[in-house]
């Protein structure tokens, strides 16, 4: 699998905050679950998770987030509450520490700022 594009703003801000950034992307629910458990095993400080449509459907992601001690921040480029009704429910959000949504790519920067404060 190819590495996701790396947003230099996120990398730079992470360095300024003293945080190392490990960006990953997958469309496979099982990979996301494995990475959540890996984050716990490797001592990650926080996970920023944009689960896309799986946000609204995946009990497995909910269970994985609940099973780890690493705080997870749900991230969305758009604001799910301003979209279709079926996007208003979030299994990820039910388990996450918090959510940042609706600010486009800046949602990741805002979530990183929140992660640094945890």
Range of the structural domain that residue 20 is part of: 8-117
Q: What is the pLDDT of residues 29-41, one digit of tens each?
A: 999 999 999 999 9
- Of 84, 80, 21, 16, the C-alpha closest to 51 is 80
Residue 84: per-residue pLDDT: 87
Residue 5: per-residue pLDDT: 54
Contact 112, 11 (CB under 8 A): no
Contact 94, 66 (CB under 8 A): no
1 falls within a domain? no
68 falls within a domain? yes
The structural domain count of the chain equals 1
Angle at which helix 29-41 crosses helix 59-67, to 10 degrees, equals: 0
73 falls within a domain? yes
Query: What is the distance between the alpha carbons of residues 17 and 24, in angstroms, rounded to a whole number?
Result: 20
Q: What CATH number does residue 82 fall under?
A: 3.40.50.9100
Residue 40: per-residue pLDDT: 96
User: Is the torsion defined by CA of 16, 8, 39, 58 positive or negative?
Assistant: positive
Give the residue ranges of the chain where pLDDT is below 50.
1-4
2 falls within a domain? no
């Amino acid at each position: 699998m190819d590495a996701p594009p790396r947003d230099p703003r996120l990398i730079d801000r992470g360095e300024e905050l003293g945080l190392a950034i490990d960006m990953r992307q997958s469309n496979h629910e099982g990979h996301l679950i494995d990475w959540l458990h890996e984050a716990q095993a490797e001592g990650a400080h926080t996970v920023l998770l944009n689960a896309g449509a799986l946000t609204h459907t995946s009990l497995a992601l909910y269970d994985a987030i609940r099973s780890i001690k690493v705080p997870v921040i749900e991230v969305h480029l758009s604001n799910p509450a301003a979209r279709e009704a079926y996007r208003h429910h979030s299994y990820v959000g039910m388990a996450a520490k918090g959510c940042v949504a609706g600010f486009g790519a800046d949602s990741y920067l805002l979530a990183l700022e929140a992660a640094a404060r945890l």
